[in-house]
Amino acid sequence: MTEGTGKTVVITGAASGIGQAASLRLLQAGWTVFGLDLALGRLAETANGFGAWQMRFRPVACDVADAAAVAGAFAQVGASLNALVCCAGVLRTGLLESMPIEDFDLVLNTNLRGTFLCAQQALPRLRAAATPDDPARVVLLSSIAALRPKIVSGAYAASKAAVSQLCRVMAAEWAPSGVLVNALAPGTVDTPMIHAVASDTKGYRPSGVSPIGRIARPDDVVDVMMFLLSDAARYVTGTTIPVDGGTQAAFVPPGSR
Ligand SMILES: NC(=O)c1ccc[n+]([C@@H]2O[C@H](COP(=O)([O-])OP(=O)(O)OC[C@H]3O[C@@H](n4cnc5c(N)ncnc54)[C@H](O)[C@@H]3O)[C@@H](O)[C@H]2O)c1
């Protein structure tokens, strides 16, 4: 068992996919992880699945779109925080002309408002932990959809483009506080979010296999996240880094390989 580093991170969406993989990796690296998620049952299963690593895992039930719930969750974190990783997100598919307003609101409220609310609650705590040699970090989950949107997922693309813009402005506003803010833009990652749309009836298709020849595993994304949380990224802020195996680099016409 790794010695604790004394560093703390809040990870939203910790009960599944990328947030769950990030939680385990940071626990293994010695961090204390406050794992926020809506799904209390899956959060408990996640903690059990961490085995001995769960000693430094603090599960917190929280709807990131609910301002009062977010304030309550961060009150449990204490006055100082080294990093925030915002993975909580939802994908709802559908053509814009017929998308239910409730679905549009859910996507924007979770992906954009949730990110904003968590970041706002985190800021004073991140500022308290930041030092000139060791800036605090925020890592947001944008998406390839922010850089190259697709049909049948317009609300999702809009929410992720907005996350990338929030990231840029937060980075510039918070740099004087010693807080670095970056976003990751994965292509298709093998997680429950993608399993749920595998046989989508509304015509949505994930970006799928990249030019590298496979879809991403959560750890492909977490590796880049670990770089952004490391000393090696001390001069990196305000960026959205694609982690997409080259998917949006160039269009590969169907049947050309
Ligand atoms: N999987 C992909 O292909 C992919 C690609 C690009 C970006 N992303 C982004 O990465 C992030 C993580 O995605 P994932 O694939 O791990 O998804 P996932 O569905 O496996 O996990 C998302 C987690 O967020 C939680 N969540 C949803 N709404 C919440 C809310 N209101 N409050 C708190 N928790 C909430 C869910 O309960 C779930 O545990 C998301 O922001 C997603 O948009 C995913």
Q: What is the pLDDT of residues 59-100, one digit of tens each?
A: 999 999 999 999 999 999 999 999 999 999 999 999 999 999
Please tell me the residue having the least CA distance from ligand 1 atom 23. 13
- State how far the alpha carbon of 106 is from the alpha carbons of 14, 116, 148, 155, in Å: 19, 15, 21, 9
Tell me the CATH number of domain 8-243, given options 3.30.70.3040, 3.40.50.720, 3.20.20.140, 3.40.50.300.
Answer: 3.40.50.720
Terminal C-alpha separation, the chain: 47
Q: How far is residue 54's CA from residue 169's CA, in Å, rounded to a whole number? A: 35
Q: Which ligand 1 atom minimizes the distance to the CA of 156? A: 43
Torsion of CA 113, 144, 15, 60, to 10 degrees: -30
Which residue puts its alpha carbon closest to atom 17 of ligand 1? 193
| Atom number, ligand 1, closest to the C-alpha of residue 186 | 6
* Among 25, 40, 62, 191, residue to substitute to test ligand 1 (most atoms within 8 Å of Cβ): 191
Return the pLDDT at 139. 99
| Residues designated catalytic | 156
What residue owns the CA closest to ligand 1's atom 7?
Answer: 143
Q: Pick from 96, 89, 88: which is nearest to 154 by CA? A: 96
Give the gyration radius of the chain's Cα atoms. 18
| pTM of the full structure | 0.98
Pick the closest to residue 87 from 157, 33, 155, 36 (CA basis): 36
Ligand 1 centroid, distance to 191 Cα (angstroms) = 9
Residue of 159, 146, 133 lying closest to 207 (CA atoms): 146
Question: Taking CB atoms and a 6 Å cutoff, what residues make up the pocket around ligand 1?
Answer: 12-13, 15-19, 36-39, 62-65, 87-90, 110, 114, 141, 143, 186, 188-189, 191-194
Q: What is the pLDDT of residue 1?
A: 65
Q: Where are the alpha helices (DSSP H) in the chain?
A: 17-28, 40-49, 67-75, 101-108, 114-129, 144-147, 154-174, 192-195, 218-228
pLDDT at position 247: 96
Ligand 1 center to 90 CA (angstroms): 5
Q: For a substitution probing ligand 1, which of 10, 16, 163 has the most ligand atoms within 8 Å of its CB?
A: 16
- Give the helix/strand (H/E) hosting 35: strand 32-37
Find out whether 181 and 197 touch, Cβ atoms under 8 Å: no
Give backbone dihedrals phi and psi of 182, rounded to 5 degrees, phi first.
-140, 165
**Per-residue model confidence (pLDDT) at position 254:** 84
Q: Residue 193 C-alpha to ligand 1 middle, in angstroms?
A: 6
* Separation between Cα atoms, residue 159 and residue 146, nearest integer Å: 8
Other C-beta atoms closer than 10 Å to the C-beta of 202 total 13
Q: In what order do the strands lie in the sheet with 32-37?
A: 57-61, 32-37, 8-12, 83-86, 136-141, 179-186, 240-243
Per-residue pLDDT at 133: 96
Q: Which residues of the chain have pLDDT under 50?
A: none
